[in-house]
Structure 1
Amino acid sequence: MNNLKTLMLMVLMAAIMMFIGGMLGGKTGLMFMLMISLGMNFFSYWFSDSMVLKAYNAQEVTREEAPQLYGLVERLAGNANLPMPKVCIINSDVPNAFATGRNPDHAAVAVTTGIMNALDYNELSGVIGHELAHVKNRDILTSTIAAMMATVITYAAQFMAFFGGRSDDEESSNPLAAVATIILAPIAAMLIQMAISRSREYEADHDGAEICGNPNFLADGLEKIEYYATHARPMQDASPATAHMFIINPLKGAGKTLANLFSTHPDTSERIALLRQQARDMRVG
Structure 2
Amino acid sequence: MFNWTKTFLLMAAITALFAVIGGMLGGQQGMLLALLFAGGMNFFSYWFSDKMVLKMYNAQEVDEHSAPQFYGMVRELAQRAGLPMPKVYVINEDAPNAFATGRNPENAAVAATTGIMQVLSERELRGVMAHELAHVQHRDILISTISATMAGAISALANFAVMFGGRDSDGRPVNPIASIAVMILAPLAATLIQMAISRAREFEADRGGAEICGDPEALAQALAKIERYAQGLPLTPAEAHPETAQMMIINPLHGGGLSGLFRTHPATEERIQRLLAMTGRYRAG
Corresponding residue for 1:261?
261
- Counterpart amino acid of 1:153? I
% identical equivalent positions? 57
Render the CA deviation track for 1:100-152: whole Å, top value 9, x for unaligned.
Answer: 11110000111111101000110000000000001001012212332343234
Please state if 1:248 is matched with 2:225: no
Corresponding residue for 1:193?
194
**Inter-partner Cα distance in structure 2 for 1:45 and 1:170:** 34
Q: CA deviation at 1:29?
A: 1.0
Render the CA deviation track for 1:135-191: whole Å, top value 9, x for unaligned.
Answer: 001012212332343234334324433543233625321223312211111111111
Task: Identify which range, 68-77 or 18-27, moves more after superposition.
Answer: 18-27
**Inter-partner Cα distance in structure 1 for 2:171 and 2:186:** 25
**Inter-partner Cα distance in structure 2 for 1:68 and 1:47:** 29
Which structure 2 residue ranges, 5 or more long, are not aligned? 233-242
Corresponding residue for 2:270?
270
TM-score, length-normalised on structure 2? 0.87
Corresponding residue for 1:143?
144
- Counterpart amino acid of 1:12? A
Matches within 5 A, 1:1-285: 1-36=2-37, 38-40=39-41, 42-167=43-168, 169=170, 171-231=172-232, 233-235=244-246, 247-249=249-251, 251-252=252-253, 256-258=254-256, 259-283=259-283
Q: CA deviation at 1:25?
A: 3.0
- Counterpart amino acid of 1:105? E
Corresponding residue for 1:243?
none
Secondary structure of 1:98's partner?
Answer: strand
**Inter-partner Cα distance in structure 2 for 1:105 and 1:18:** 33
Secondary structure of 1:28's partner?
Answer: helix
Q: Is the 8 A contact 2:88 2:110 kept in 1?
A: yes
Task: Identify which range, 129-138 or 9-18, moves more after superposition.
Answer: 9-18
**Inter-partner Cα distance in structure 2 for 1:105 and 1:207:** 18
**Inter-partner Cα distance in structure 1 for 2:110 and 2:147:** 21
Render the CA deviation track for 1:210-255: whole Å, top value 9, x for unaligned.
Answer: 11111011011111111111216351xx5xxxxxxx5212x53xxx
- Counterpart amino acid of 2:261? L
TM-score, length-normalised on structure 1? 0.87
Render the CA deviation track for 1:27-78: whole Å, top value 9, x for unaligned.
Answer: 2112223434554564344222222222222221122111111010000001
Q: Is the 8 A contact 1:18 1:31 kept in 2?
A: no
**Inter-partner Cα distance in structure 1 for 2:151 and 2:171:** 30
Distance 1:18 1:41, change over 3 A: farther
Aligned length: 272
Q: Is the 8 A contact 1:218 1:275 kept in 2?
A: yes
Q: Is the 8 A contact 1:198 1:264 kept in 2?
A: yes
Secondary structure of 1:99's partner?
Answer: strand
Q: Is the 8 A contact 1:18 1:34 kept in 2?
A: no
Q: Is the 8 A contact 2:26 2:157 kept in 1?
A: no
Across the aligned residues of Structure 1 and Structure 2, the Cα RMSD in angstroms comes to 2.2
Distance 1:216 1:170, change over 3 A: closer
